[in-house]
Chain A
Amino acid sequence: AQTVTQSQPEMSVQEAETVTLSCTYDTSESDYYLFWYKQPPSRQMILVIRQEAYKQQNATENRFSVNFQKAAKSFSLKISDSQLGDAAMYFCAYRGPQGGSEKLVFGKGMKLTVNP
C-alpha cells in the first residue's frame, strides 16, 4: 500500500524567511500525483500545490514551490518570504495513476509556526 511520511511534526520560521517542509512516499507506480494541502485553524483544507509525476519540471505557485525527486520518492515544499498567514498544518498527499483508485493518501501533517 502507498504510504506518505512527514517526519517533522513541527517547524517554525521567521516572517520573510524561507522554510522547507519534507515529505517522502512509497509507491510502485510510475505515474501518480502529489499534493500539498494547508489546513489553518478554520480546518478548511486548501490546495497549495500539485505535481504530476510524469512532469520533470517542479511545480511553482507564487511563493510556493516543490522539489520533486522521483527516484528518491521525495516531495518537499518550499515556502519563500513566509507570511503570518502561512501558519497552519501542512499535509502531503499522494494519489495513484489515472484509471486506478482516486483516493488521496495523506501524511501525518506538520504544524508550521511563523514568528513575527
Chain B
Amino acid sequence: SAVISQKPSRDICQRGTSLTIQCQVDSQVTMMFWYRQQPGQSLTLIATANQGSEATYESGFVIDKFPISRPNLTFSTLTVSNMSPEDSSIYLCSVREGGYTFGSGTRLTVV
C-alpha cells in the first residue's frame, strides 16, 4: 500500500489569505483525491487530480477557490484561497492504492 506524507498538519490563518497543502506519495499513482471534512461532519470530495490534466471538481467546489496542482505522479497540492472562517476544516488527500490510503490530514483554522 502507499504511504502519504501530508503537510502542514495544522495551521491557523487570517481570513483573506491562502494556504497550500502538500501531499507526497511514496509511489507513483494515477489519481489523487482531495477531501474536506468540516467540523463534526463526514468527508466530502473536493476534486480529483490526474497528472498532466486539469483537476475535476465536484459540485459546489471551484478552481478559483481550491486550485490544485499535480506536477508529477507522486505529488499534489491543494490551495485554499481567500479564506474565510467557513473554510475551517480538515483537508485530506487520498490515493486509490491500498484500498484508498489517506494522508494524515491538515487541520485548518481561519480566524
- Which residues of A are interface residues toward B (Cβ below 8 A)? 35, 42-45, 47, 50, 91, 93, 95, 102-109
Is B43 a contact partner of A106 (Cβ separation < 8 A)?
yes
Is B105 a contact partner of A47 (Cβ separation < 8 A)?
no
Is B104 a contact partner of A106 (Cβ separation < 8 A)?
no
Interface string of B78-105 (1 = CB under 8 A from A): 0000000000001010101011111011
Most B CB within 10 A of own CB, among A45, A93, A105, A108: A45
Is A108 a contact partner of B100 (Cβ separation < 8 A)?
no
Residues of B within 8 A of A91 (CB): 42-43
What total of chain B residues lie within 8 Å of the partner, measured CB to CB? 22
CA distance A47 to B96 in the complex (A): 12
- Which residues of B are interface residues toward A (Cβ below 8 A)? 31, 33, 37, 41-45, 48, 58, 90, 92, 94, 96, 98-102, 104-105, 107
Is B100 a contact partner of A104 (Cβ separation < 8 A)?
yes
CA distance A104 to B43 in the complex (A): 9
